[in-house]
Amino acid sequence: MSWRSRLCTITLDGEVETLLETDRHIEAPNWHRDGRLIVNAEGRIWALAPGADMLSPIDTGAADRCNNDHGLMPDGETLVISDSAQTEGSCIYLVPLAGGAPRRVTAHVPSYWHGVSPDGARLAYVGRRGSDAHFDIFTCAPDGSGETRLTRGEGHHDGPDYTPDGAWIWFNSDRGGTMDLWRIRPDGSDAQQMSDDERVNWFPHPSPDGRHVAYLAYEEGTEGHPPDREVELRVMPAGGGAPRVLRALHGGQGTINVPSWAPDSGRFAFVEYAR
């Protein structure tokens, strides 16, 4: 069959398995501990069960303009989504994975979810507030209380994701002049640059075992995180060090925007697109 999107997994040795080929434009896989993969398409959220050959819809109620910034709470029963159906910009909601009415989390928009602390006590997300033109990293409780800004006015910040011990939040930022990977303490202190090369690096995701960070590397000079580009899936040691290229592919926006590691850290999911 002809395909537009291909949902795949890749091991740390670069071995790729294709799980689904579809003419839909799907994005941003998450990996549930029961083996399901969660993606977005056409403003809705969908699941692919192990061994299935088609996507099944997840009921998100009135949230029918979901973008690709979604994921799972540690309980495995709650989905975090970012949706703009009821607001002027992306807003974060919680919804039962089994389906149901979404509950609003963030009071302010735009807000794009990217990570959750291991204990489920804090959500990490990207937002823009007031007259500030920059996107910064924020955290809040799952009920929306205690919004805390971790970065401020130092360029574009995106893709925050917690380490499994909760000690760090990884993100990408051009605060150093080019888009590289950084990490910061959950209180906003001790920001450290973790990549420094010619690539334009986005969406770092620490593995559940704490050993690796997977990310998306664009070609030098790329502005933003566009779709339909020649990109690379890379991994680097969680403590810092030289990255390895796992796969070159046609992708970009939608390939690995959100956490997509398997629970055993042996592989992660991604989406590639037809040229």
pLDDT tens track for 177-210: 999 999 999 999 999 999 999 999 999 999 999 9
pLDDT digits (tens, 9 = 90+) for 66-90: 999 999 999 999 999 999 999 999 9
Give tens-digit pLDDT for 144-171. 999 999 998 779 999 999 999 999 999 9
* Spatial contact of 111 and 127, defined as CB atoms under 8 Å apart: yes
Mean pLDDT of 9-25: 98
Ranges of each domain in the chain: 56-269
pLDDT for position 2: 85
**Quick one: average pLDDT of 199-225?**
98
- Residue 96: strand pairing partners: 78
3-state secondary structure of 119: coil
DSSP string over 147-200: -EE---SSS-EEEEEE-TTSS-EEEEE-TTSS-EEEEE-TTS---EE---SSSE
Prior bond to 29 cis, omega within 30? no
Of the candidates 223, 220, 218, the one whose C-alpha atom is nearest the C-alpha of residue 250 is 218
The H or E element that residue 247 is part of is strand 244-251
pLDDT band at 133 (very low <50, low <70, confident <90, very high): confident
Q: What is the mean pLDDT of residues 114-131?
A: 95
Kindly report the average pLDDT of the chain as a whole number.
97
Convert the pLDDT of each residue in 228-252 to its tens digit: 999 999 999 999 999 999 999 999 9
Backbone angles phi, psi at 114, to 5 degrees: -140, -25
- Provide CB contacts within 8 A for 93, sequence distance 6+: 60, 63, 80, 81, 82, 83, 102, 103, 104, 105
Q: Give the 3-state secondary structure percentages of the chain, helix then strand then coil, rounded to 5.
A: 0, 45, 55
- SS3 assignment for 37-102: EEEEECCEEEEECCCCCCCEEECCCCCCCECCCCEECCCCCEEEEEECCCCCCCEEEEEECCCCCC
Decide if pLDDT at 55 tops 70. Answer: yes
Model pLDDT, residue 1: 56
Is 70 exceeded by the pLDDT of residue 175? yes
| CATH topology classification for 56-269 | Neuraminidase (2.120.10)
